[in-house]
Chain A
Amino acid sequence: MLSLSRKADYALIALGHLAERQDRVVSARDVAEAHNLPLPLLMNILKRLQQHDIVVSTRGIRGGYRIGADLDAVSLHELIRILEDDAEPGCDQDLEPDGPISAAGGSDQAPIQALHYKLMQFLHDVSLADLVLPGRRIDVPAEMLRRTKRKVSPGHAAAEMIETAVAVEI
């Protein structure tokens, strides 16, 4: 199954956390504890993002990170490249919309190349702002809206819902 790397997942979680708190700096430890992420890996990710000006850091006891870039101007593709040491997501070579399609995973099969092109285009089209900014990002995917699985008594409806509904972190 296609999926984002753990680094990309954690970066998006961290950026979402910082985006909710744009008026102040947040420590890596706070982010890690809030989302149960491994602190050493998260620190590496934030350092990498800082090197590319996606976040800015403040030193000191009350130091930490805050968003440093216009997230509308940064694509998911760019984020993945930053995290994967400038390697093209899922590919060895650059993919330009008007240029030749490079071999995906070494395949020269046209259908696979076409699929790869589409995937790359998607990564270019999605901005980080659309993924992490409150009020812009999707909080509950449409597919997750469904009927409560179990009958619940009215007084306990909320508690039951917490057990059965799929929650999406904000």
Chain B
Amino acid sequence: MAILLSETAAREIKTIIKQQELPEEATKLRVGVKGGGCSGFSYMLDLTEEGKGDMDEEIESQGIKILCDMKSYLYLNGTEIDFKDEVMGRGFVFKNPNATSTCGCGSSFTA
């Protein structure tokens, strides 16, 4: 498993990289989660020119290099990131198989 981008998500990310005039080859997508426990998690997406850190997983999907710190990767492994452009807005949607509700403390995720 890994973190996967849908074709539409990858296309949108490439468009944003161009719009922001970032170096196409060097720019990576950093994916992460923040928070935990009963307060739930937040997903984060960020563009970076940083190299892979010691605590990072590096994945490539649809021609986009993805960085994810190992802690976040525990919760994101297997996630597909899609892009929606619909009536309620434009943005990225995380389809995360790890997001379950069975944890006794009420956490969004169990892994």
Contacts and interface: CB of A to CB of B under 8 A. Distances in A.
Interface string A34-71: 11000000000000000000000000000000000000
Interface in B1-57: 12-13, 16, 20, 22, 27, 30, 32, 34-35, 38-56
A158 B55 CA distance: 9
B69 A147 contact: no
B34 A23 contact: no
Q: Say whether chain A's binding surface is mostly helix, strand, loop, or mixed.
A: mixed
B77 interface: no
Contacts of A112: none
Interface of B: 12-13, 16, 20, 22, 27, 30, 32, 34-35, 38-56, 67, 69, 71-72, 83-96, 99, 101-102, 106, 108
Contacts of A161: 30, 32, 44, 46, 48
A165 B45 contact: yes
Given A145-B16, A162-B34, A140 B91 contact: yes
Given A34-B39, A169-B40, A139 B93 contact: yes
Contacts of B95: 135
Contacts of B16: 142, 145-146
Contacts of B39: 33-35
Contacts of B12: 142
Contact of B54 (A141, A154, A164, A167): A154
A147 B22 contact: yes
B40 A135 contact: no
A165 B86 contact: no
Given A148-B30, A157-B67, A158-B72, 17 more contacts: A21-B101, A21-B108, A130-B86, A135-B95, A136-B93, A139-B93, A142-B16, A142-B90, A146-B16, A146-B20, A147-B47, A151-B50, A152-B50, A154-B50, A165-B32, A165-B46, A167-B34
